[in-house]
Amino acid sequence: MVKKLLHTRMRVNDLDRTVKFYVEALGLKVARRHTSPRGAQLAFLQTPNSEEEIEICQLPDSPAVQVQPDLMHLAFEVADLAAFAAELAKRGHKLTDGPTRTSTGHTIAFIDAPEGYEVELIQKG
């Protein structure tokens, strides 16, 4: 039986650009970086108030990553979506969809991360 979720891995073409986005736009922290035994460049990102990490992976000599539309996204809770969006804009990042009020009373919005991955921002209602 599984004990808990440890991390989610996302493969990218440009590790440094992707890590910079998550650190600068969302305020995540780099927990560690290293090269795997198979030669993959890895960076593990920490999210506030979560034990799970996001593993960003760049594989050498691999075909380019081509993220399909709406394949997957990461979702993060924010306290004040309007304030968070204003801060994102100051850092050069715009919402790509929303904000939208859901039937559950939450407000959601999206931004695009490098490589075509999508990030959902949720303000609980």
Which residues are annotated as catalytic?
Answer: 120
Helix residue ranges per DSSP H, the chain: 15-26, 81-90
**Continuous segment of H or E residues that includes residue 101:** strand 97-101
- CB distance 7 to 51 below 8 Å: no
Q: How many CB atoms lie within 10 A of CB 56?
A: 25
The token pair that represents 109 in the structure block: 């919005």
Question: For residues 99 and 51, is the Cβ–Cβ distance under 8 A?
Answer: no
What is the SS3 assignment for 68? Answer: coil
